[in-house]
């Protein structure tokens, strides 16, 4: 072993301090295990080289030998030598450096790829600048390296090292401290490490002292800021650092503080805002973040937008005042916060108002944002006003009329009470033929007149038409094509009689005037009823009326006819004193007042309003719509106009008519314009409501009455005065047809031009060809299918593939629970009611937990009596679980993607524009898009229902599995596992629900059979299979000869029967309104339900389950 | 199971259960033909099942009927020899009320042997006593009772009208005046606790619901002594709250609660406050629901 160069080397080593040789010998033995003979020589020699580099490098050599055995275990010989050589170079520069290099190597080598070793050594070397301080820093670097390398990717270590180097030019001390801090802080970071290092790097140029503070602060920031947002947050810091913001650490701490106060989901939005600010003035970011906490204590995140926009605009005009704004050191800012903080958003009180309205109306009303109604595009156009379509109440999204929340809420209450009153007091139940109580019947007479008028017009039109036709035929020689100048008069029939309200409004020549009067009078009637029925709201409602009055236009400024309508508005708002009426029409004013007073009684109904409207119209329409001088008006007191009398009315009308005939000097004055809307009363569209109701009812029964076509509907809408159109005629037409289409959709009528079966894809080929299938892959199963014509099973016909649903986000689950919190509590309670059943004591048992005292005493008494005693004297608490196992099968077919609300717009996904103003507009739009997305699909409701169910099921501990099914063709029946029947409920399940999406077709039979298999393996007393679908079963080739839908229905039926044979209770729930047709044959005597209202699915599902499991 | 009479003379009155008689006419406002129905059933020995939500007047109705049927004008075949024992003007149909619960055993109803110093002694249960003394036996919330107890009433409710007492080996024949009357609330009957059909089909059923608004006004006014306006508003509030039954509220405001509110009002409590404590807070613990109901109440009451 001592051959070759070794003795020589040893001799050389002996010249160095003796410790070197000692170390060598010590290491030699163990190194031999790793290296060959020749290699040992090289190894020993390298030590010598190290030792002889400089005067003090023998220390390095000792360290070299000392760690060699350990290092050699991890490195191949070439790598080892490369490593040793790195040490040699380092020893050349500074033996201390080499010592720490070797020293750290022991722990670093196992974690560092060999090719990185030179780079690593280089990193340390680059920190060494020949000074004592720098060598300490470099040595420290080697010291912390093992930790860094173990926890960070190597390139991050490199970036960090270069950061430290850059910092070392400023101060070695700070660099050293940062090095240590970095070791502790960096490993904890994930993706955000990169932006953080970039930010720190940017800081060195501008304010290097901040780096250390940032390192200290960052762990807290990471804890409190939403994981997904930290990267952006730090990038923002980098941008700020680059533009020279001084106190980045302050930004970091304030920012963290601010963001931690913001709800998780909104942090991204705050950062959006910061980004917008950086573009304008970076200096504004820190004050903004600093104020944020304070601001958010006063207003909500969604209100923040308004405040921020204002500040941003200020900032653009004048940075100083902008910054003051964000510091909340300006009046504008302060007062804006005040207004905002007192304003009330509908979302916050929606659920209270919903229950309030439901209580008042006694029907299952829903509350929606009025923007919702507008976006449905069925004729409502005003976003800011309340309205109702008969089943939903629409309210403005925000109220900020008053400076405190309480008043704003009261306003909401007044508005919704008024809307509910339309339902409660029957505005929409108008029936033309229903007798009135306050007036004599005038409408039939008027109808005759109206018909007469129409006929006259028609005759006139016909005359013109014939004339034109004659002219054309006589003028030409016969081959001239006749272009009709007029529509064929016979086509001029009206559709308005479709609804009763329409029939009524048809009576008026000036239908706009007629409708306006009707609306005012009806609102007047309702407001009066509200005040009588709900005294509690009287005070608030009077205040609102008073405020409305204060903002009404002056009657004197209006043309006479409009002035009289405005007079009605004033009176309907409870002003009867000091009303200016033109002297000439004093009687008319009095008569209008007495007509209106007829409605101010609890007995008046909507039919009375209609009769009153006829009379008011007769009067007002006979007044010329001309401007009158101020001095021609006189203040009137119309509080007590005296009782209404038909005779007086008639003579007034005659008188007015005479006046009109007399002064027939041509022009009728100005054309009539509707009065300004009364804010709190909102939009009143009785004809639309009646129309929708009727269409819905018609589409329900089908047949008999000729269904309304889109053309008819369009014409009807054109004629209705309820739809206000200021646009050009062409646009109106297109609007009308759009409205008509949307209304048809809403009403559930089939859209025009659609062929039955369209959208399901052509059933091109049926799979009758082809034979049995084999399940080859894992998690696939083969099932038979029932052929009802053959009256037999097709063997091994379908392949069911079981798959796990992907995991998404658990927020869907939580959000659903939140949305339905009241309901979910209710359901939970209902479910818990079942529970005691299993925990009930059972008495009179032969054995049990304890002696049943009653039974024991009886037994004792029996003994004394000499009667044989009953030996059942124990009781036992029945701890058995409810023995229920249930499988839920969710339809995941493509049709479940159908939106329940139509007409939603897609989110604007353009890239962020550069211009700050545009950017903010974009930001706002994007945000609103996100916040207001309320576009629900059938599947969403299925999912929500499932969520509620899971929540409830967990409370009673039934065994349950949730599966989705879909597929394409018989060899591809997909069976998705959301929660397997034996799986414990976990976050995974929550996340899977999120990913349930509409897929392909529905081959129910196979899916049901697979579910049966699942249930059959369960050991439970009661087994239930719950099928939730949105239509009939359908799939490629799921029919005989591709046409008979019956095939699918029969197969499904058979599958359900099979379930029954295995003691499984099947139950089908469908949201398909046409479900009754096929469900009857599909389910036979098994349970099924057709949900009339899709929205009730989440509510109904758990309830049904409860009933189902309860009946045994 | 002893009910004290409303008027306390010295300290309290104690009755044997079968001796409790409804002496003063209880206030009952008929809504339909329930009085005629009950009277007819009583005469024909048909047991009666009263269905309806809590606090809508089921118990009051039975009390009223006991009083009414017991009055001399009601022609009931008397068991000879009983008449002398009656004091002047005393009524003759006692009312035995038993609130059913899930631990109620058959011997609780029929009776049991008790141990005493000398051996054992048989004690009649309330049911036996009612049967023997010809009382109206009123089993409140009968679905709560255990299945074995409901079976007990079977021989009593058909043509046999007997009560077999297994323990003593005897059979008690029901007095002519005896009538079984049960009640239950379909609202919170979880389908598990439904009455068996073999039991159910031994009764005629009279359905109760909250009275219509005008009658309810009358009842509230009469029972609570509050003003007509308040009674009117309370009835309206009750109606509105009942609209919420399907929307998160378990059960609507009972007439009883409305009367409580009315009573508070007649003592000078402000209407909104009275409605709050008597109705809103009683009905639900859900803050949102409370707030909504309170908004309704604040719309109705000034």
Tell me the pLDDT band of B123, cut-offs 50, 70 and 90: confident
Model confidence at A837, pLDDT cuts 50, 70, 90, reads low
Nearest-angstrom CA–CA distance, A620 and A515: 13
Question: Which residues 797-826 of A are in CB contact (within 8 Å) with B?
Answer: 822-823, 825-826
Question: What confidence tens digit (pLDDT) does each residue in A1005-1039 have?
Answer: 888 888 888 888 777 777 888 888 777 676 666 66
Kindly list the residues from chain A whose CB atom is less than 8 angstroms away from the CB atom of residue B299.
356, 360, 413, 417, 534, 536-537
What is the C-alpha separation between A979 and A986, in angstroms, rounded? 9
Query: Do the chains contact at A822 and B286, CB–CB below 8 Å?
Result: yes
The more confidently predicted of residues A502 and A301 is A502
**Cα separations in angstroms, B61 against A719, B68, B181:** 59, 10, 11
What value, to the nearest 5°, has the Cα angle with vertex A381 and ends A379 and A385? Answer: 120
Q: Does residue A860 belong to the interface with chain B, where contact is any CB pair within 8 Å?
A: yes
Any CB–CB contact under 8 A between A512 and chain B? no
Identity of the residue in B114, B233, B288 whose CB atom sits nearest the CB atom of A351 = B288
pLDDT digit string, tens, across residues A96-122 = 888 888 888 888 888 888 888 888 888
Q: Which helix (H) or strand (E) holds A429?
A: none
pLDDT digits (tens, 9 = 90+) for A275-296: 888 878 777 888 888 888 788 8
Interface check for B250 against chain A (CB to CB < 8 A): the answer is yes
Contact between chains at B240 and A834 (C-beta distance less than 8 A): no
Range with the largest mean pLDDT of A4-13, A201-210, A439-448, A801-810: A439-448
Long-range contacts at A697-705 (CB < 8 A, ≥ 24 apart): A698/A747, A698/A749, A699/A747, A699/A748, A699/A749, A700/A748, A700/A1073
pLDDT at B275 over 90: yes
**Which of A356, A362, A537 lies closest to B292 in CB terms?**
A356
Contact A446, A621 (CB under 8 A): no
- The minimum CA-CA distance between A826 and chain B, rounded to whole Å, is 6
| CB pair distance less than 8 Å for B188 and A833 | yes
Please tell me which residue, B2 or B186, carries the higher pLDDT value: B186
Q: Is A857 on the interface with B (CB under 8 A)?
A: yes
Is residue A761 predicted with pLDDT exceeding 60? no
pLDDT, tens digit, 9 for 90 and up, residues A188-245: 777 778 778 888 877 777 777 777 877 777 777 777 777 777 777 777 777 777 776 6
Query: For residue A641, what pLDDT is reported?
Result: 76
Mean predicted lDDT score pLDDT of chain B: 82
Contact B243 A857 (CB under 8 A): no
Interface of B with A in 151-170 (CB under 8 A): 167
Q: Where are the beta strands (DSSP E) in A587-694?
A: 633-636
* Residue A732: pLDDT over 60: no
**Residue bearing tokens 């409810």:** A882
Q: In this complex, do A865 and B188 lie within 8 Å of one another by their Cβ atoms?
A: no
Between A545-559, A660-674, B231-245, the lowest mean confidence (pLDDT) is in: A660-674
Among A595, A540, A539, residue whose Cα is nearest residue A567? A595
The reply to whether B302 touches chain A by the CB within 8 Å rule is yes
Mean pLDDT of A768-788: 69
Smallest Cβ–Cβ distance between A1107 and the set B113, B191, B236 belongs to B191
Instruction: Give the pLDDT of residue B258.
Output: 94
Which of the two residues, A741 and A355, has the higher pLDDT score?
A: A355
Instruction: Map residue B138 onto helix, strand or coil.
Output: strand
The whole-number average pLDDT for the span A787-816 is 77
B145 near A CB under 8 A: no
Residue A959: φ, ψ to 5°: -80, 130
pLDDT, tens digit (0-9, with 9 covering 90-100), for B15-27: 777 777 777 788 9
Q: In terms of pLDDT, which residue wins out, A306 or A775?
A: A306
Among the ranges A243-257, A655-669, A856-870, B246-260, which has the highest mean pLDDT value? B246-260
Torsions phi, psi of A828, nearest 5?
Answer: -55, -45
- The pLDDT, as a whole number, for residue A753 is 39
Containing A841, the helix (H) or strand (E) segment is strand A841-845
Q: What pLDDT score was predicted for residue A270?
A: 80
Identify the pLDDT of residue A1111.
44
Alpha carbon distance A660, A666 (integer Å): 11
Q: Do A534 and B300 touch (CB under 8 A)?
A: yes
**pLDDT for residue A191:** 72
For B247, the closest of A355, A537, A843 (CB atoms) is: A355
Q: B188 falls in which pLDDT band (50, 70, 90)?
A: low
SS3 A631: helix
**For residue B300, which residues of chain A lie inside 8 Å, CB to CB?**
533-536
Average pLDDT over residues B149-156: 84
Read out DSSP for A709-733?
PHHHHHHHHHH-TTS---S-HHHHH
Mean pLDDT of A982-996: 79
Kindly state the average pLDDT of the residues B59-80: 68
pLDDT at B119 over 90: no
Q: Is the pLDDT of residue A135 over 50?
A: yes
Q: Is the dihedral of CA A214, A216, A217, A222 positive or negative?
A: positive
Q: Between residues A911 and A18, which one has the greater pLDDT?
A: A18
Check residue A491 and give its pLDDT: 45
Mean pLDDT, chain A, as a whole number?
Answer: 77
Q: Please report residues of A whose CB lies closer than 8 A to that of B102.
A: 840
Predicted pLDDT of residue A701: 54
User: Is the pLDDT confidence value at A249 over 60?
Assistant: yes
Q: Which of A493, A331, A528, A337 has its CA nearest to residue A418?
A: A528
Give residue B185's pLDDT: 82
Give the gap in angstroms from C-alpha B296 to the nearest C-alpha of chain A: 6
Report CB contact under 8 Å: A536, B191.
no
Interface pTM (ipTM) of the complex?
0.80
Using the Cβ of A537 and the Cβ atoms of chain B, whether some distance falls under 8 Å is answered with: yes
DSSP E strands, chain B: 48-51, 95-99, 111-116, 119-124, 136-140, 162-165, 170-173, 179-184, 204-207
Enclosing H/E stretch for A232: helix A227-242
Mean pLDDT of A3-11: 71
Of A176-180, A205-209, A871-875, minimum mean pLDDT range = A205-209
The answer to whether A230 and A221 have CB atoms below 8 angstroms apart is yes
Whether B297 contacts chain A with CB within 8 A: yes
Residue of B119, B292, B301 lying closest to A864 (CB–CB): B119
A375, A905 contact by CB (below 8 A): yes
A51 phi and psi angles, rounded to 5 deg:
-60, -25
With CA atoms as reference, the chain B residue closest to A1105 would be: B191
Tell me if chain A has a CB within 8 Å of the CB of B105: yes
Is the pLDDT reported for residue B234 higher than 90? yes
CB-CB: which of A822, A1106, A1111 is closest to B289? A822
Interface membership of A1092 toward B (CB under 8 Å): no
Q: How confident is the model at residue A1040 (pLDDT cuts 50, 70, 90)?
A: low
Pseudo-torsion of CA A953, A956, A959, A963, nearest 10°? 0
- Of A142-151, A336-345, A905-914, B293-302, the range with the lowest mean pLDDT is A905-914
Residue A643 has pLDDT above 90, yes or no: no
Q: What digits encode the pLDDT tens for the residues A20-75? A: 888 888 887 777 777 777 788 888 888 888 888 787 788 888 888 888 888 888 88
pLDDT of residue A505: 84
Q: Does B112 touch chain A (CB under 8 A)?
A: yes
B116 touches chain A (CB under 8 A): no
Q: Which chain A residues touch B120 with a CB distance below 8 Å?
A: 861, 864-865
What's the pLDDT score for residue A490?
A: 45
Q: What percentage of chain B carries pLDDT values higher than 90?
A: 38
pLDDT band, very low/low/confident/very high, at A695 (cuts 50, 70, 90): confident
Cα A167 from Cα A147, distance rounded (Å): 20
Interface of A with B in 401-460 (CB under 8 A): 413, 417
Q: In the numeric block, which tokens belong to residue A1046?
A: 């019956």
Using CA atoms, how far residue A1090 sits from A530, A962, A1002, in Å, is 38, 21, 18
Using the Cβ of B282 and the Cβ atoms of chain A, whether some distance falls under 8 Å is answered with no
Q: B91 CB near a chain A CB, below 8 Å?
A: no
Question: Is the pLDDT score of A583 beyond 70?
Answer: yes
Confidence (pLDDT) at A1043 = 55
Would an 8 Å CB–CB cutoff place A539 in contact with chain B?
Answer: yes
Chain B nearest CA to A529, separation (Å)? 12
Beta carbons of A1010 and A783 less than 8 angstroms apart: yes
Quick one: pLDDT at residue B241? 92
Lowest mean pLDDT among A24-38, A337-351, A464-478: A464-478
**With an 8 Å Cβ cutoff, are B299 and A417 in contact?**
yes
A704 in the Ramachandran plot: left (φ > 0), alpha (ψ -120 to 50) or beta? left
Residue by residue, DSSP assigns A1059-1079 as HHHTTEEEEEEE--TTHHHHH
Both tokens assigned to B250? 């378990």
Instruction: Provide the shortest C-alpha distance from residue A1072 to chain B (in Å).
Output: 23
The answer for residues whose C-beta is within 8 angstroms of residue A224's C-beta and 6 or more apart is A256, A259, A260
Higher pLDDT among residues A515 and A479, named by residue: A515
């Amino acid at each position: 072993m001592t051959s070759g160069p070794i003795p020589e080397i040893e001799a050389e080593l002996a010249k160095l301090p003796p410790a070197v040789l000692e170390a060598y010998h010590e290491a030699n033995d163990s190194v031999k295990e790793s290296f060959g003979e020749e290699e040992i020589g090289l190894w020993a020699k390298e030590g010598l080289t190290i030792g002889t580099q400089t005067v003090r490098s023998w220390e390095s050599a000792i360290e070299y030998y000392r760690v060699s055995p350990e290092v050699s275990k991890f490195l191949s010989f070439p790598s080892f030598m490369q490593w040793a050589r790195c040490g040699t170079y380092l020893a050349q520069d500074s033996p201390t450096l080499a010592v720490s290099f070797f020293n750290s190597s022991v722990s670093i080598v196992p974690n560092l790829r060999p090719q990185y070793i030179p780079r690593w050594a280089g990193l340390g070397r680059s920190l060494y600048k020949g000074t004592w301080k720098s060598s300490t820093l470099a040595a420290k670097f080697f010291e912390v390296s093992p930790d860094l390398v173990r926890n960070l990717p190597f390139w991050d270590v490199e970036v960090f090292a270069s950061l430290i180097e850059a910092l070392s030019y400023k101060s070695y001390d700070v660099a050293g401290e940062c090095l240590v801090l970095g070791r502790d802080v960096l490993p904890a970071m994930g993706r955000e490490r990169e932006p953080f290092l970039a930010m720190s790097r940017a800081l060195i140029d501008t304010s290097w002292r901040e780096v250390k503070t940032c390192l200290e602060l960052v762990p807290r920031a990471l804890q409190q800021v939403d994981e997904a947002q930290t990267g952006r947050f730090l990038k923002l810091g980098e941008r700020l650092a680059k533009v020279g913001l001084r106190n980045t650490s302050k930004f970091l701490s304030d920012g963290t503080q601010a963001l931690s106060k913001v709800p998780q989901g909104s942090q991204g939005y705050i950062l959006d805002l910061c980004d917008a600010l950086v573009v304008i003035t970076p200096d504004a970011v820190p004050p903004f973040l600093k104020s944020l906490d304070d601001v958010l204590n006063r207003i909500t995140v969604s209100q923040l937008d308004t405040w921020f926009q204002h500040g941003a605009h200020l900032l653009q005009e004048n940075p100083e005042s902008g910054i003051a704004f964000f510091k909340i050191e300006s009046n504008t800012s302060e007062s804006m916060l005040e207004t905002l903080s007192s304003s009330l958003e509908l979302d916050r009180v929606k659920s209270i108002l919903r229950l309030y309205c439901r209580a008042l109306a006694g029907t299952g009303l829903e509350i929606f944002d009025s923007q919702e109604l507008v976006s449905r595009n069925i004729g409502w156009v005003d976003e800011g006003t309340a309205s109702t379509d008969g089943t939903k109440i629409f309210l403005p999204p925000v109220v900020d009329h008053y400076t405190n929340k309480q008043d704003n809420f009261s306003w909401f209450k007044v508005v919704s009470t008024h809307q509910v009153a339309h339902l409660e007091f029957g505005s929409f139940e108008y029936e033309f033929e229903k007798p009135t109580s306050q007036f004599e019947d005038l409408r039939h007479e008027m109808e005759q007149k109206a018909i007469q008028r129409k006929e006259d017009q028609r005759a006139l039109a016909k005359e013109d038409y014939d004339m034109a036709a004659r002219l054309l035929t006589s003028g030409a020689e016969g081959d001239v094509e006749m272009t009709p100048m007029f529509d064929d008069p016979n086509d001029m029939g009206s559709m308005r009689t479709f609804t009763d309200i329409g029939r009524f409004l048809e009576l008026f020549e000036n239908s706009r005037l007629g409708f306006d009067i009707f609306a005012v009078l009806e609102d007047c009637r309702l407001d009066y009823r509200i005040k009588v029925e709900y005294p509690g709201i009287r005070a608030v409602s009077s205040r609102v009326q008073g405020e409305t009055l204060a903002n009404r236009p002056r009657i004197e400024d209006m043309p006479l006819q409009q002035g009289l309508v405005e007079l009605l508005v004033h009176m309907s708002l409870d002003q009867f004193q000091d009303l200016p009426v033109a002297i000439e029409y004093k009687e008319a004013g009095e008569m209008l007042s007495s007509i209106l007073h007829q409605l101010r009684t609890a007995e008046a109904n909507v039919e009375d309003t209609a009769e009153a409207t006829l009379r008011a119209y007769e009067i007002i329409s006979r007044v010329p719509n001309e401007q009158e001088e101020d001095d021609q008006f006189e203040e009137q007191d119309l509080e007590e106009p005296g009782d209404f009398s038909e005779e007086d009315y008639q003579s007034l009308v005659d008188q007015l008519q005479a006046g009109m005939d007399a002064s027939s000097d041509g022009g009728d004055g100005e054309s009539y314009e509707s009065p300004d809307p009364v804010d709190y009363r909102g939009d009143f569209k009785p004809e639309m409501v009646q129309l929708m109701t009727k269409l819905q009812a018609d589409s329900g029964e089908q047949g008999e009455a000729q269904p309304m076509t889109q053309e008819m509907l369009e014409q009807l809408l054109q004629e209705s005065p309820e739809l206000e159109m200021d646009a050009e005629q062409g646009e109106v037409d297109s609007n009308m047809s759009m409205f008509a289409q949307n209304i048809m959709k809403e009403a559930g009528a089939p859209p025009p031009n659609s062929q039955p079966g369209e959208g399901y894809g052509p059933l091109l080929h049926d799979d009758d060809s082809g034979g049995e299938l084999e399940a080859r892959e894992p998690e696939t199963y083969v099932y038979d299918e029932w052929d009802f014509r053959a009256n037999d099973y097709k063997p091994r016909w379908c392949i069911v593939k079981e798959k796990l649903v992907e995991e998404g986000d658990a927020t869907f689950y939580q959000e659903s629970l939140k949305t339905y919190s009241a309901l979910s509590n209710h359901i939970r309670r209902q479910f818990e009611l079942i529970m005691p059943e299993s925990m009930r004591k059972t008495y009179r048992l032969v054995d049990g937990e304890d002696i049943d005292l009653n039974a024991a005493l009886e037994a004792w008494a029996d003994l004394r009596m000499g009667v044989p005693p009953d030996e059942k004297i124990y009781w036992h608490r029945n701890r058995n679980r409810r023995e229920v196992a249930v499988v839920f099968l969710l339809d995941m077919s493509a049709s479940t993607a159908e939106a329940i609300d139509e007409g939603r717009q897609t989110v604007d996904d353009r890239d962020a524009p550069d211009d700050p103003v545009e950017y903010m507009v974009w930001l706002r739009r994007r945000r609103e898009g996100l916040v207001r997305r309320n576009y629900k699909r059938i599947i969403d409701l299925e999912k929500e229902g499932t969520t509620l169910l899971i929540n409830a099921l967990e409370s009673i501990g039934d065994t349950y599995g949730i599966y989705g099914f879909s597929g394409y063709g018989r060899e591809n029946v997909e069976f998705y596992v959301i929660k397997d029947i034996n799986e414990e409920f976990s976050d995974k399940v929550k996340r899977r629900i999120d990913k349930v999406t509409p897929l392909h077709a529905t081959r129910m039979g196979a899916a049901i059979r697979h579910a049966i298999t699942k249930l059959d393996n369960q050991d439970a007393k009661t087994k239930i299979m719950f099928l939730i679908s949105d239509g009939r079963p359908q799939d490629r080739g799921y029919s005989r000869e591709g046409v008979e839908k019956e095939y699918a229905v029969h197969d499904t039926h058979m599958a359900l029967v099979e379930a029954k044979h295995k003691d499984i209770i099947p139950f089908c729930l469908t949201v398909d309104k046409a479900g009754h047709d096929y469900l009857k044959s599909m389910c036979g005597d098994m349970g099924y339900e057709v949900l009339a209202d899709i929205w009730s699915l989440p509510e109904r599902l758990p309830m049904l389950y409860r009933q189902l499991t309860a009946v045994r | 199971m002893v009910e004290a009479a409303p008027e306390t003379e010295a300290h309290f009155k104690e009755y044997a259960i079968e001796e409790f008689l409804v002496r003063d006419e209880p206030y009952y406002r008929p809504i339909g033909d329930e009085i005629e129905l009950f009277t007819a059933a009583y005469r024909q020995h048909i047991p009666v099942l009263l269905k309806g939500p809590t606090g809508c007047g089921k118990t009051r109705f039975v009390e009223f009927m006991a009083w009414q049927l017991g009055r001399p004008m009601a022609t009931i075949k008397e068991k000879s020899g009983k008449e002398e024992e009656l004091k002047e003007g005393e009524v003759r149909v006692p009312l035995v009320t038993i609130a059913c619960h899930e631990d109620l055993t058959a011997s609780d109803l029929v009776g049991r042997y008790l141990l005493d110093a000398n051996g054992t002694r048989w004690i009649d249960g309330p049911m036996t006593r009612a049967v023997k003394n010809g009382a109206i036996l009123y089993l409140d919330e009968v679905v709560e009772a255990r299945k074995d107890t409901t079976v007990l009433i079977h021989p009593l409710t058909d043509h046999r009208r007997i009560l077999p007492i297994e323990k003593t080996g005897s059979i008690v024949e029901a007095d002519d005046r005896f009538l079984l009357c049960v009640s239950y609330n379909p609202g919170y009957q979880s389908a598990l606790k439904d009455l068996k059909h073999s039991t159910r089909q031994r009764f005629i059923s009279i359905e109760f619901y909250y009275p219509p608004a005008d009658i309810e006004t009358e009842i509230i006014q009469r029972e609570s002594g509050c003003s007509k306006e308040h009674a009117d508003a309370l009835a309206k509030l009750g109606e509105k709250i009942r609209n919420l039954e399907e929307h998160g509220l378990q059960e609507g405001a009972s007439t009883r609660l409305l009367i409580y509110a009315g009573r508070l009002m007649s003592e000078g409590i402000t209407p909104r406050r009275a409605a709050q404590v008597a109705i809103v807070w009683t009905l639900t613990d859900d803050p949102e629901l409370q707030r909504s109901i309170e908004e309704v109440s604040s719309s109705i009451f000034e």
